[in-house]
Copies of this chain bind each other. A is one copy, B any other.
Amino acid sequence: MSNLVQKIRAFLIEEIYPLEQDFLRKRFRELLPVLQQKREQAKALDLWTPHLPKECGGQGLSLAEFAPLSEEMGRTPLGHVVFNCQAPDIGNMEILLAHGTDEQKQTYLRPLIRGEIRSCFSMTEPEFPGSNPTWMSTTAIKDGDDYVINGHKWFTSSAEGAAFAIVMAITNPETASPHQRASQIIVPTNAPGFKLVRNISVMGHAGDDYASHAEIVYENCRVPQKNLLGQEGAGFAIAQERLGPGRSHHCMRWIGICERAFDMMCDYAVKRQLAPGKPLATSDIIQAWIAESRAEINAARLMVLHAAQKIDGEGAHAAREEVSLIKFFVANVLQKVLDRAIQVYGGLGVTDDMLLAYWYRQERAARIYDGPDEVHKIAVAKRILRKYGFES
């Protein structure tokens, strides 16, 4: 375990784990003051935005080097937030770093890095399947110096309280290639026509502030054309570039959740008595779950590292098979490990006295968001089958 990971672990155990019960019971907004304080501590310890280049105040880590840090942060629901590595901001930082103009960087990236503002990413539309990313209805039409955006989005996570959204919209509907019709545009959330309809209630909770998923209507929403990110028509390409590392980030976090759940499962198996002197750990059914979980988590970690190394070395496009593989593989490991841990805890496992029930319901979506399992499987298989002569 590297020195940096050790520092992160120590900080989280000391400062953040004690907040978990509050996180489970209170509105997110109520946690903001204490979180702000912890974020300042993290900055003071030079643990802030470690994923960024050194010139941006980070540690200059490759994706593979960041993986163990992100896993460590994943062990607690507030882990990434406290170091300003949380999705969707981490992905937006990457886009702005790579494609932002100087002015965009000054206005949006710098305050984001400093943690003064938050952001969101507005792509998915309720009427269209995420699995067909070129099929969307939101449009951005030029009018004078502006884009006028009309459309309906949902699962725009963390929109409430965000300063700006990066919005995917069709700017070039006539272009031959469906992959070159959309653009990414920065939309301040106070722009006229940006309407946050509701925080969607997910698994029993609408949530609030950072911990929410908004439905948004863009109704003649007007922003200057200089808010375009990269080239016009490059929206899909940039999204793909964002999603590769983005999916890896999720996987790293999930491994952290797995390790925490594994710890909890082992701990309780040893403590909980079935009969005097006979702990749950004596059951070889439970022993088998522990060994299977260990094997699967190890496999997941090795695959994520391998994919991260490929992204580092050859870029996200070259690694898209590896990314799709980890996306569904790790999400399924996560679900299995959480399920076993809950079963070991029995009744206690479904209560909110433990983190397990939170992850169980929040992370059911891990097999759906950023591409359902099936979409990734089909994409991987078609790419492989083409080498065998398949024409799809």
Interface residues, chain A, CB within 8 Å of chain B? 24-25, 124, 126, 129-132, 135, 154-155, 200-206, 266-267, 269-275, 279, 281-288, 290-292, 294-296, 298-300, 302-303, 306, 321, 324-326, 328-329, 342-343, 346-353, 357-358, 360-361, 364-365, 367-369, 372-374, 376-378, 380-382, 384-385, 387-390, 392
Contacts and interface: CB of A to CB of B under 8 A. Distances in A.
A274 B295 CA distance: 25
A295 to B, nearest CB: 4
Residue among A135, A294, A349, A353 with most chain B CB within 10 A = A294
Nearest to A287: B381
A378 B291 contact: yes
Contacts of A360: 203, 361, 364
A350 B364 contact: yes
B303 A390 contact: no
A357 B295 contact: no
A91 B365 CA distance: 36
A57 B357 CA distance: 41
Contacts of A155: 347
B284 A285 contact: yes
A329 B329 CA distance: 14
A201 B135 CA distance: 41
A85 B200 CA distance: 33
B291 A389 contact: no
Contacts of A329: 295-296, 299
